Amino acid sequence: MQTIKQGDIVTRRSYREDVFFKVIEVFFEDQGEAVAILKGLDVRLLADAPLTDLRRVKLAELKYYREKLLKRNANCFRRINQRQHLVRQQALREVAVNDGGCDFFELPGTVLHLDGDPDYLGFCLSAYKQLGVTAAGVEVPEERQPRLVTDLIRKHTPDILVLTGHDAFIKEVGNSVNPKNYRNTSFFLEAVKSARRVQPSRDDLVIFAGACQSNFEAIINAGANYASAPKRVLIHCLDPVFIAQEVAFTPVSQYVDLRELIACTITGPKGIGGIETRGKFRLGFPRAG
């Protein structure tokens, strides 16, 4: 039998090898069975599995997988950049600027992103930079987000707040309605409630909260504008970024188009949803200098 060790890229046979994971840790249970802690390469998923269920991915497979991811991400970035350009042009036309807008300056919304996973946070901050979104990122474990979010909001004064990390529905419980039957949904709920005590208006502070398989409706009812996951599916690690950038670049005079917003994500409506929300993009006049 092949030896699985920390750092290997693997798939799970019992799940039809649908997700590629990195092995974070290998340990032995009391009964002597070897078990690995796994983290999804591109989906926000932490899992454990016996080593007997794992298959190490070949280098050629990994190369193909990563090429597919890069191509898919590049397509998303291209669509988003094209949409950003159209939004800017439309905003300038609406103020009847005949010189191409050289006397106006742009002020997109800013983001505060709290993430329970440092690797995913790094991916997200890189994506914000590529998309021209001003974002502050703080690594905060999910269970500490309710306690720390208030001070962080006051420190960074964001237009958009992202609360994410890892989550999972505990299937053995069977009741998907109760937020307590999820690994971290309860923490996201409390963090949203804490944020709303600082800023109650869903238009003044736009909130995305949740991770893989989170209780979507409970998080929305707690005060979020957008959340995961309506169909309790895995979400891509960059989906919160794509949500935040769409809000950041939609004019403040308009509501974010929900269908176009979800179309900007990789997971789609099974993993991401929300409510009507005003954008955060503003034009200013005159341009200094």
Contact predicate 182/169, CB 8 Å: yes
Average of per-residue pLDDT across 15-32: 86
Q: Does residue 183 sit in the same domain as residue 212?
A: yes
d(CA 41, CA 268): 18
Q: Say what percent of the chain tops pLDDT 90.
A: 66
Q: Does residue 29 sit in the same domain as residue 127?
A: no
Q: Does residue 46 sit in the same domain as residue 81?
A: no
Give first-to-last CA distance, the chain, whole Å.
68
Q: Say what percent of the chain tops pLDDT 70.
A: 94
Q: Does residue 18 sit in the same domain as residue 158?
A: no
Decide if 48 is inside a domain. yes
Q: Does residue 20 sit in the same domain as residue 52?
A: yes
pTM above 0.85, yes or no: yes
Of 132, 142, 277, the C-alpha closest to 214 is 142
Give the model's pLDDT for residue 42: 85
More confident residue, 49 or 155: 155
Q: Does residue 37 sit in the same domain as residue 120?
A: no
CA 195 to chain centre: 17
**CATH assignment at residue 251:** 3.40.50.280
pLDDT at residue 94 greater than cutoff 70: no
Decide if 3 is inside a domain. no
Contact predicate 115/124, CB 8 Å: yes
Q: Does residue 255 sit in the same domain as residue 183?
A: yes
**Single-letter amino acid code for the residue at 203:** D
Q: Does residue 83 sit in the same domain as residue 19?
A: no
Decide if 289 is inside a domain. no
SS (H, E, C) 133-172: CCEEEEECCHHHHHHHHHHHHHHHCCCEEEEECCCCECCC
Give the model's pLDDT for residue 100: 52
d(CA 176, CA 155): 36
Reduced to 3 states, what is the DSSP secondary structure of residue 30?
A: coil
* Residues 174-217: tens digit of each pLDDT: 788 999 999 999 999 999 999 999 999 999 999 999 999 999 99
Phi-psi region of 175 (alpha: psi -120 to 50; beta: other; left: phi over 0): beta
Q: Does residue 106 sit in the same domain as residue 176?
A: yes
Q: Could you list the residue range(s) of the whole structural domain that residue 271 is in? A: 73-284
CA atoms within 13 A on the CB side of 267: 28
Query: How many distinct structural domains can be found in the chain?
Result: 2
Residues in the chain: 289
Of 229, 13, 240, the C-alpha closest to 111 is 240
Of 228, 287, 289, 288, the C-alpha closest to 92 is 287
Average of per-residue pLDDT across 43-66: 90
Average of per-residue pLDDT across 73-99: 71
Q: Does residue 152 sit in the same domain as residue 279?
A: yes
Q: Does residue 53 sit in the same domain as residue 80?
A: no
Decide if 100 is inside a domain. yes
Contacts of residue 213, defined as CB under 8 A and 6 or more positions apart, other chains included, come to 167, 168, 169, 182, 228, 229, 232, 233, 234
Decide if 257 is inside a domain. yes
Decide if 1 is inside a domain. no
Beta strands in the chain (DSSP E): 9-12, 21-28, 34-40, 46-50, 54-56, 105-107, 111-115, 135-139, 160-164, 206-209, 226-227, 273-274, 282-284
Q: Does residue 161 sit in the same domain as residue 31?
A: no
Contact predicate 274/258, CB 8 Å: yes
Decide if 63 is inside a domain. no
Decide if 129 is inside a domain. yes
* Residues 102-130: tens digit of each pLDDT: 677 889 999 999 999 999 999 999 999 99
